[in-house]
Amino acid sequence: MIDLRLLREDPDRVRASQRARGEDVALVDALLSADERRRSSSTSFDQLRAEQRQLGKLIPKAQGDEKTELLKRTRELADAVKAADAEQQEAAQQAQELALRLGNLVHPDVPIGGEEDFVVLEQHGTPRDFAAEGFTPRDHLELGELLGAIDMDRGAKVSGSRFYYMTGIGALLELALVNAAVAQATAAGFTPMITPNLVKPAAMAGTGYLGQVEDDVYHLDKDDLYLVGTSEVPLAAYHMDEIIEANRLPLRYAGYSPCYRREAGSYGKDTRGIIRVHQFEKVEMFVYTAPEEAEAEHARLLAWEKQWLSALELPFQVIELASGDLGSSASRKFDCEAWVPTQGKYRELTSTSNTTQFQSRRLNIRMRDADGTRPLATLNGTLCAVPRTIVALLENHQLADGSVRVPEVLRPYLGGRETLEPVVPARTSPATAAK
C-alpha cells in the first residue's frame, strides 16, 4: 500500500507509475475521491460528537424550555452521529479496498515496458561449447533419468501433470543445495527459518499475493487458508502488527519451505521436466530495514545471489525487469538467469525485489526511532529455487557419458562426490557416435 499523503500531494507520480505498470490509471482518481470522502466524513463525525459531548455538559444545568430544546437536539444528534459513523466506516472501507488494488510506486530507474523489455546489466561465465567438446548435450530430464534422480512418470501417476519425484541421488542433490544455500545465508548473517506452509488471508493479502496473481494460488476453502507460493509470505507476516526498534534493524531471515503454484496461464509452457512445476522447495532471503537503507540492501541481496550462482559455477546474466513485469508489490526487481544449454537461452533462477514500504503498510509493521514510529521497508530475494537450479546444474556440468560434475561448493554435502554417475546405461549422443 502506498502512502496516501503522497497520493494527495503528487497524484501525477502515482498516475505515471500505474501507466508504467500497464495498470488502470483511473484507479488513482477513484482513490483520491474515496480518500476525500473518508476525510470529510471523519471530520463531520468528529464535529457532531463534539457537539454531542458539549450538550451533555449543558443539559444538567438547563431548565424548562431550554432543557426541552436541548433534549430534542440530543435525540437529533444521536441519529446524526449514528449516520455519520456509518458513512465514515463505509467511506474508509471503500478507500481501503481501492488502496489495496493500487500497485507499489515504480522506481524511477526501472525501464518502461513489458516482459520482453528487460535490460541486461551484466553477464558472468561463458556457456560451454559442447560441439567443440565433441558431444551433444542432453537435457536435464534425460540426465535425471540416467542418474536415477528424477521420476516424472510416477509423479504424474500419483499427483498429475507438473508433479515429480526426486529419487536417489536427486533427493540427495536437493538436500545438498538447500544445506549449502542455508550455510551461505547463515554466514552472511541471516537467521535460518522453517516457515508455515499455510497462511491466513491477511498474510497473503498483506504481501500482495491476492489480486494480480490470485489465480496462481491454492486456497483451502474449508479452512480459509492459503498454501504459500514462497516463504516470502510467512516471513513478511512474521512481524505483522508489530513495532520494531530501529537499533534491531536490519532483520535478515532465510526461509526454507515448499512452494505451491497453480501455474495458471502456463498451458503448453515448459511441459517437459521440472522447470515449471506445481510444488518445489526454495530458500528465500527476506529483510526488514529502514526505508533509507532499502536500496543499499537491495544491492546486497543481488550480490548474495550472484555469489551463490558463481559458487555453483554456472554461466548467468543479471537483468532488470521492466515496469510491466514487476508484480504489484515490487518497486524494482532484478533477476539472475542461468544458461540452459539445450534451450540455448538464459532462464530465471533467482530474483530480488525492493518492495519499499508497500508490504509493511499493509501488514502494519513499523519501526521506532528517535523521531517516532513509521512503516519500515521490506525486501526479498530468492537464493535457491531448487528445481531450476538442478536443471542448470545437470545441463551445464554434464559429461559425455551422462555423468555430471559436482561443483566444489556442493561436495561436502554429497559425501565428497566429485561426479554423479548414471545408474541407467546412457545412449551414445549423435555427435559422439559420428566422431
156, amino acid identity: A
Q: Which pTM was predicted?
A: 0.90
Report the percentage of the chain scoring pLDDT > 90: 74
- What order do you get walking across the sheet with 225-227 strand by strand? 198-199, 225-227, 218-220
Q: Locate 49 and state its grid cell.
A: 460528537
Beta bridge partners of 333: 353
DSSP string over 110-133? SPPSSGGG-EEEEEES----HHHH
- Look at strands 332-340 and 345-354 and give their pairing: antiparallel
pLDDT, mean of residues 166-179? 98
Any idea which of 17-26, 91-100, 349-358 has the lowest mean pLDDT? 91-100
pLDDT value, residue 431:
42
Q: Which 8-state DSSP code applies to residue 104?
A: P
pLDDT digits over 393-435, tens only? Answer: 999 999 999 999 999 999 999 999 999 999 977 655 444 443 3
Question: Does the pLDDT at position 92 exceed 90?
Answer: no
Residue 265 banded pLDDT, cuts 50, 70, 90: low
Q: Which 8-state DSSP code applies to residue 398?
A: B
pLDDT digits over 108-155, tens only? Answer: 999 999 999 999 999 999 999 999 999 999 999 999 999 999 999 999
Domains and CATH numbers, the chain: 4-101 (1.10.287.40), 115-434 (3.30.930.10)
pLDDT value, residue 428:
52
Beta bridge partners of 119: 320
Distance of CA 291 to the CA centre of its chain: 18
Q: Locate 399 and state its grid cell.
A: 559429461
Q: Which 8-state DSSP code applies to residue 406?
A: P
Catalogue the active-site residues: 261, 276, 348, 351, 388
Q: What mean pLDDT, rounded, does the chain reach?
A: 91
